């Protein structure tokens, strides 16, 4: 299985901050990486697919980059609605696997 490792596990930030979350794969996954946002009691919501493609309806302050084994999710200016847990997921090879999550908290 491909292991996905996110850092940090928890991030404290203020509204307006630029936030970056890193996801590393245990082997190359090309650009087959997605990012999801999950709020308490809700299903995950797709933000980014194929490493850098923005899902329809997702604010442009979210962006993704990377290829191979290292990827980043950036929120350019953190908004109150963005406090949530973020997961990366690889879909290069079965079984699909997720990172352990990064919780973005209010500082």
Partner 1 sequence: QVQLQESGPGLVKPSGTLSLTCAVSGDSISSSNWWSWVRQPPGKGLEWIGEIYHSGSTNYNPSLKSRVTISIDKSKNQFSLRLTSVTAADTALYYCARRGPVKLTIDYWGQGTLVTVSS
Closest to partner 1 by CB, 79 or 100: 100
Asked if residue 101 binds partner 1 (CB under 8 A), the reply is yes
CB of 55 to partner 1, least distance (A): 7
Contact with partner 1 (CB under 8 A): which of 5, 24, 74, 91? 91
Closest to partner 1 by CB, 19 or 44: 44
Asked if residue 89 binds partner 1 (CB under 8 A), the reply is yes
Asked if residue 102 binds partner 1 (CB under 8 A), the reply is no
Contact with partner 1 (CB under 8 A): which of 79, 100, 105, 106? 100
Contact with partner 1 (CB under 8 A): which of 21, 23, 49, 84? 49
Distances (CA, A) of 54 to 3, 38, 97: 24, 16, 20
85 forms bridges with which residues in the sheet? 38, 103
The string of DSSP codes covering 46-107 is EEEETTTEEPTTS-TTEEEEEETTEEEEEESS--GGG-SEEEEEE-SSSSPEE---EEEEE-
């Amino acid at each position: 299985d491909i292991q996905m490792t996110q850092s940090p596990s928890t991030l404290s930030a203020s509204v307006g901050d630029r936030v970056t979350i890193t996801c590393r794969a245990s082997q190359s996954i090309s650009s087959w990486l997605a990012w999801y946002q999950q709020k308490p009691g809700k299903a995950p919501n797709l933000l980014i697919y194929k490493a850098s493609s923005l899902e329809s309806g997702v604010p442009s302050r979210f962006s993704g980059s990377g290829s191979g084994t290292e990827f980043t999710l950036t929120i350019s200016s953190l908004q109150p609605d963005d406090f949530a847990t973020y997961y990366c997921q690889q879909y290069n090879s079965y079984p699909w696997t997720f990172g352990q999550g990064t919780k973005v908290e209010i500082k």
